[in-house]
Amino acid sequence: MKSVKVSVMALCAMCMLASCNSKNATEQSSDAMIVEEVQPRVKLASVAVQDVDQLQVYAATVVSDIKNNIAPAAPSRIEKILVEVGDNVTKGQKLVQMDESSLKQLRLQISNMEVEFNRIDELYKVGGVSKAEWDNMKLQLEVNKTSYNNLLENTQLLSPIDGVVTARNYDDGDLYAGQAVLVVQKIAPVKLTINVSEKYFARIKKGNKVMIEADAYPGEQFEGTVSLVYPTIDPMTHTFPVEVSVANKDKKIRPGMFARATVNLGTEQHVVVPDVAIVKRAGSGERFVYVYRDGKVWFQPVQLGQRLGDKYELLSGVENNAQIVVAGQAHLSDGIEVIVEK
C-alpha cells in the first residue's frame, strides 16, 4: 500500500514538472514571437547612377523684339492719328499726320527761291552775276530743301517696322508735349531675358534650344533659341543675362506675359531614387532616405535635384547600388533592425 502511494506521488510530481516545462516553453515561444513582431517590416529598392538631363527652369517676362516710340522731333499740333491700339502696321505706313502750317510756309519759300535761283543761273551763264553769288543762292536753296525734308518726316510720322500698335497717348487736335504719340512693337519674334548662375557660363551657347511655357497657354510649349549671351557676370548675384528669342509666327505670345524658360545644360550622372523613398523631417525642410545595410537601416540626409516623373534625382547623400527603403518608413529609426519583405 505504501509503495502505491509513493508511485502516485512520483507520478504527480512528474506531471507538475512537465506542466511547468510546457508553460516555460510556451512563454519563451510567445516572447520570441513578440520580439519578432516588434521588428519593422520594410521593402527595399536598389538604386543606381543614371545620365540625367540638367534642365533648369527660369521665370521671365516676355518683351517685344523691337519697341518704337512714334513722335515728332519738335512740338507741334497733332492733326490726325490714323491707327488705333491693336492695329497691325507695316514698315513705312503713315501713322500720324501732324500740323502742316510750317511745312506749307517752307514749301512756298522753296518755290520762290527756285524761281530766283533760275533767274540768277541764267544771269551767271552770261556773266551777269558772280560765281560767289550763284554759289550762295544754290547753298540757300539746298539748305531749305533739307529743312523741308526733315520737317516732312516730322509732319508725316511713319512706322519704322512691321508691328502692332500697343499704345496711343493723344487725341486728334492735341499739342504734342513730349510723350510718344504712339508705341509700335514688333511681336514676331519676341524675347525673354533670363539670369543664369555663373556655374553654367561655359554651357550656355548662342543657338541653344530653349522650351518656353506661358501661363496664358497651359500645357502648350513654344520653342526658343538663345540669341545673346552677355559676356560679364554680375558680382552681386553671380548670374549673367541670357536673351532667348521666340519666333512667335502665330503671334500668340504677347509682350508682358509671364513665362518659364527651360534650358537643357547637358547631362550629369546622379543617383535616381523612387519618390516614395524620400522622407521629410517634421519641423524642417530636410529630406532623407533610409539606407539598408547588414540587416539594419540608417538615416541618410539627401540633396534633391529634379523630379523625374515618379523619381527624384539626388545630388548627394546616396551611393551607387545602395539599397534604400521604399515602404514601411513610418516606424523606423536610425540603426534599427528590420525584416525585409520580398
End-to-end CA distance of the chain: 66
Task: Show the domain range for 141.
Answer: 100-154
pLDDT at 101: 73
pLDDT at 6: 41
Does 61 lie in the same domain as 194? Answer: yes
Note whether residue 127 is domain-resident. yes
Q: Provide mean pLDDT across the span 266-295.
A: 90
Does 146 lie in the same domain as 290? Answer: no
Q: Would you say 340 and 323 are in contact if contact means Cβ atoms under 8 Å apart?
A: no
Q: Would you say 156 and 97 are in contact if contact means Cβ atoms under 8 Å apart?
A: yes
pLDDT surpasses 70 at 7: no
Which of 10-24, 46-60, 83-97, 210-224 has the least mean pLDDT? 10-24
pLDDT at 46: 94
pLDDT at 293: 93
What is the phi/psi pair of residue 145, to 5°? Answer: -65, -40
Structurally, the chain folds into a number of domains equal to 3
List the Cα angle 41/319/293 in 5-degree steps: 35
Q: Which residue, of 110, 132, 154, is where some domain finishes?
A: 154
Q: Would you say 324 and 340 are in contact if contact means Cβ atoms under 8 Å apart?
A: no
How many C-beta neighbours within 10 Å does residue 89 have?
21
Q: What is the pLDDT of residues 282-299, one digit of tens each?
A: 777 789 999 999 999 999
Q: What is the pLDDT of residues 289-334, one digit of tens each?
A: 999 999 999 999 999 998 999 999 999 999 999 999 999 998 899 9
Does 249 lie in the same domain as 260? Answer: yes
Note whether residue 20 is domain-resident. no
Does 262 lie in the same domain as 190? Answer: yes
Does 211 lie in the same domain as 223? Answer: yes
Does 115 lie in the same domain as 134? Answer: yes
pLDDT at 326: 95
Does 253 lie in the same domain as 196? Answer: yes
Q: How far apart are CA 88 and CA 307, in angstroms?
A: 43
Q: Which residue, of 154, 171, 195, is where some domain finishes?
A: 154
Note whether residue 298 is domain-resident. yes
Look up the pTM and report it: 0.64
Element containing residue 287 per DSSP (H, E): strand 287-293
Does 326 lie in the same domain as 260? Answer: no
Note whether residue 247 is domain-resident. yes
